[in-house]
Structure 1
Amino acid sequence: MDDKTASASFSLDSRSAAATGRDDYERNWRTHVGDEFPLPTFSAATAADFRLRFRATRVDDVAVTTVDGESAAQTADGPVPDTDHIRLWLVHSGAWALGSRRSTVEHTVVAGEFLLRHATGLPHFALPPRTRARCIVLPAAALFSLPLAGREVTGHSDAAEVRLLVAHATMVEEVLPELSPAGVRAARDTLVELAVAVAHRGFDDVNTRLAPALAQAAKNLAEQRLADADLSPAMLARELNVSVRTLQRAFAAGGETVTAYIRERRLESARQALSATRLTVSEIAAHWQFADSSHFSRAFKQRYGVSPTEYTRQNS
């Protein structure tokens, strides 16, 4: 990795003498995020009770920051650096209030929503306690095709395009240290393309660079719906606003099929249930949507080499 690519987690707790100090916190930010993405100046009240954790990832001229705050936080009065960025805020819990001045709230992003906007300078913001959010900062020049000047794009964070963006950003955070220069460029370009997709509420489903993000978003959704009777490639494709063929191509790029992935995850969940619960084989088969106990037993034995009954006996 070069000096424009880094990822790290760091925190600051002003109440703890053992915690990272303010100077170390600022040094961490400059090291892992850089001066091109200026660190906000916080109010005195925030500095006195500052308990926030950060995950900062920089991919060339794109930065992804995850914030997990126990305390409230608010920026201080005063000028902000003049930067030309497009910002995307995704709020998981709590809220993120934004304004051009500290005393002015122009938009509040609440839990379950996102905001995409083009703004010069770092806008002032305030966070209530227990806010969890992610901010993705992109160069305006890379998204020149978007007519964002003076307007905002808002919506629900469970939108298909947002799910894809979150899935890709999470993958980048995890694998960035292992990426080659070509991999870093591809990761960066995909972040930009998915941000464009969020703005346009759609994406180019023939772009193979988006396949890993699409497959991961489908897997994330499947994990939430494993016990649902209607879980299928068609349902996942519908939820992610793509064709079944596009979804199948995304899985094929990783050497998988959608159906096989669902089957494998259901078998593994059923195996864990055999060890952790007192449910019968028939009840577990029904819960994980196998046709019947015989079908479940055959699939289980083919995968693990023993029948569900034998597995339960061995692990009781």
Structure 2
Amino acid sequence: MVRSGGTDSGDTAQRPLVEITVPYAHERRNELLISQWRRQAGSLLPTPPLRLPPHGTGDYRLRLQRLSFHDVFIENQYSDALLGSTGTAHGHLADHVIAHFNFAGRMTYASERATVTTRPGELCTRRNGAAWKFEVGRGTHAVTLALPAGTIRFPSNGPILAGEQDTAAARLLLAHLRACTEVGEGAPLGNAARNAARNAAVELLQGMLDDQVIDDPHLFPTLAKAARDLVESRLTDPDLDPRAIADALHVSVRTLHRAFADQQTSIMEHVRQRRLERARADLLSTTWTVAEVAARWHFHDSSHFIRAHKRRYGETPTALRRRARASA
């Protein structure tokens, strides 16, 4: 069925809702899928090229709700296993930028230049210009934002960007999309409110894309250096951990760990090494006790500090000081 209210195609009250059930084993399953979509959505929601995998069991179910704000729309999607195509070559959402927030299941998009699979807690943003093939896993739930490509500055490093939903920019955009959906299910918004909701979605997506560029592997060395510089300025911070570092750099923890994948140490190993080096300097330049030095640089206790120091330098802190005094 299609639920619709008002006559303006940009009205938030106009919410086509597609609900489809097709047996996977039906010999005309693909024809049934397309015919149900067309009958329910009509011209409000053009049908992309779709087909059901032949190995599916039970029934295929699709539920899709769209909320429009002029040329920007939000979709709440649930789908079982499905194959399809989109992009300019297929006339479906051509010249759009689309952001997918995945909450359950799996979605894979593939073009000649890139292939990305998103799982729960992940997102991807892509330019829907070239032809894309997509595959949806059973029980997939996602929220999608789509807008004309000309309204956004898409990064130049590729046609698709993948990342985590736990970055501050992604969380802010998702909160706005959910708020729009909740408000849109009530009374229709006025034109000024619709413009504001539309413009906010565009700006928040742009902010997320600008942050998400850092997930490009070519920029990982720059991110790793920025992380090391941040660590150096906050070595005495007892709350210094991957989450705090990632938040300060406006990236996800996953991206931070990926940036250190090709380094000689992980981010926290780097923190521990630098603290050990600073502790060793204190042993040589102050009269603090070993326990005081260990506490300043956030070792669990003096025994842990002594073992770490001996493992790294081949001698205990006391032996270091004795040797330094003898040399003096």
Specify the alignment match of 2:105 in structure 1. 94
Unaligned runs of 5+ in 2: 1-5, 25-31, 213-243, 251-328
Question: Where in structure 2 are the equivalents of 1:263-282 lying within 5 Å?
Answer: none
Task: Name the count of aligned residue pairs.
Answer: 196
After superposition, residues 174-253 of structure 1 pair within 5 angstroms as: 174-176=182-184, 177-201=187-211
- Residue 18 of structure 2 corresponds to residue 10 of structure 1: yes
How far 1:180 sits from its partner (Å)? 0.3
Counterpart contact for 1:40–1:122, Cα < 8 Å: no
Partner of 1:56: 66
* Distance in 2 between residues matched to 1:44 and 1:147, nearest whole Å: 33
> How far did 1:91 drift?
0.8
Give the counterpart letter for 1:131 in structure 2: T
Instruction: Provide the residue aligned with 1:132 in structure 2.
Output: 141
Deviation at 1:32, TM superposition (A): 4.4
Q: Contact 1:43 / 1:77 at 8 angstroms: preserved in 2? A: no
- The one-letter amino acid of 1:93's match is A
Distance 2:85 2:132 in 1: 11
Residue by residue over 1:33-58, the C-alpha shift from the partner in whole angstroms, topping out at 9 and shown as x without a partner, is 4xxxx432212547984311112112
Whether 1:107 and 2:119 are equivalent positions in the alignment is no
Mapped partners of 1:26, 1:138: distance in 2: 22
Question: Once the 2 structures are TM-superposed, how far is the Cα of residue 88 of structure 1 from its aligned partner?
Answer: 0.7
Q: Is the contact made by 1:7 and 1:173 (CA closer than 8 Å) also made in structure 2? A: no
Q: Which amino acid aligns with 2:22?
A: S
Identical-pair percentage: 24
The residue type equivalent to 1:43 in the other structure is R
Change (3 A) 1:171 1:27: farther
**With structure 1 as the length reference, what TM-score do the two structures score?**
0.53
Contact 2:116 2:162 in 1 (8 A): no
Does 1:68 pair with 2:78?
A: yes
> RMSD across aligned C-alpha pairs, in angstroms?
3.5
Kindly state the Cα deviation for residue 140 of structure 1 after the two structures are TM-superposed. Answer: 0.9
**Rounded Cα–Cα distance in structure 2 between residues aligned with 1:100 and 1:88:** 16
Aligned equivalent of 1:23 = 35
TM-score (norm 2): 0.52
1:165 aligns with 2:173: yes
Q: Give the conservation status (yes or no) of the 8 Å contact 2:52–2:83.
A: no
Distance 1:162 1:136, change over 3 A: same
- The answer to whether the 8 Å contact 1:14/1:47 transfers is no
CA deviation map 1:139-195 (0-9, x unaligned): 11111x343473433211122211221121122122234200111111111111110
Q: Is the 8 A contact 1:93 1:132 kept in 2?
A: yes
1:7 Cα shift?
2.0
- The CA distance in 2 between the partners of 1:193 and 1:4, in whole Å, is 19
Residue identity matched to 1:154: A
Q: Is the 8 A contact 2:53 2:81 kept in 1?
A: no
Choose from 27, 34, 39 the match for 2:47.
39
Give the C-alpha shift of residue 76 in structure 1: 6.1
Q: 1:107-162 CA deviation, whole Å, 9 max, x = no partner?
A: 1112211111223056221111111112211111111x343473433211122211
Larger Rg, first or second structure (1 or 2): 2
Q: What secondary structure, in the 3-state scheme, does the structure 2 residue paired with 1:14 have?
A: strand
- Which whole-Å CA distance do the structure 2 matches of 1:140 and 1:125 have between them? 20
- Distance in 2, matches of 1:175 and 1:47, equals 40
Tell me which residue corresponds to 2:314.
none
Q: Cα 1:21–1:97, aligned 2, differ >3 Å: closer, same or farther?
A: closer
